[in-house]
Structure 1
Amino acid sequence: MDERIVKFMRDNDKVAVWLNVKILEVRTGYSRISMIVREDMLNSVKICQGGAIFSFADFAFALASNSHGKIAVGISANINYLNPAFLGEELIAECFESGRSRKLGLYDVKVYKDENKKFVASFTGQVYIKEEKFEV
Structure 2
Amino acid sequence: MSEKEALRIAEFMRQHDQVAVWLGVEILEVRPGYARLAMTVREDMLNAAGVCQGGVTFSLADFAFAVAANSHGRVALAVSAQIYYPSAARLGDRLVAEAREINLTEKAGIYEVEVRREEGPLVAFFTGQVVRRPDSFPLP
TM-score range, shorter chain: over 0.9
Q: Does 2:114 align with 1:119? A: no
Q: How does 1:69-80 map to 2 (within 5 A)?
A: 69-80=73-84
TM-score, normalized by length of structure 1? 0.97
Distance 2:88 2:112 in 1: 19
TM-score, normalized by length of structure 2? 0.94
In structure 2, stretches of 5+ residues that fail to align are none
In structure 1, stretches of 5+ residues that fail to align are none
- Matched residue, 1:19: 23
Q: Deviations over 1:16-75 (max 9, x none)?
A: 000000000000000000000000000001000000000000000000000000000001
Q: Which has the larger share of strand?
A: 1
Question: How many positions carry a matched residue from both structures?
Answer: 135
Identity of aligned residues (%): 53
The alignment partner of 1:59 has SS state of helix
- Matched residue, 2:99: 95
User: Which amino acid in structure 1 is aligned with residue 93 of structure 2?
Assistant: E
Q: How does 1:15-94 map to 2 (within 5 A)?
A: 15-94=19-98
Q: Deviations over 1:68-125 (max 9, x none)?
A: 000000010000000011000100000000001110000000000002x001110000
Distance 2:123 2:133 in 1: 32
RMSD: 0.7
Distance 1:61 1:89 in 2: 20
User: Which amino acid in structure 2 is aligned with residue 100 of structure 1?
Assistant: L
- Matched residue, 1:133: 136
User: Which amino acid in structure 1 is aligned with residue 121 of structure 2?
Assistant: K
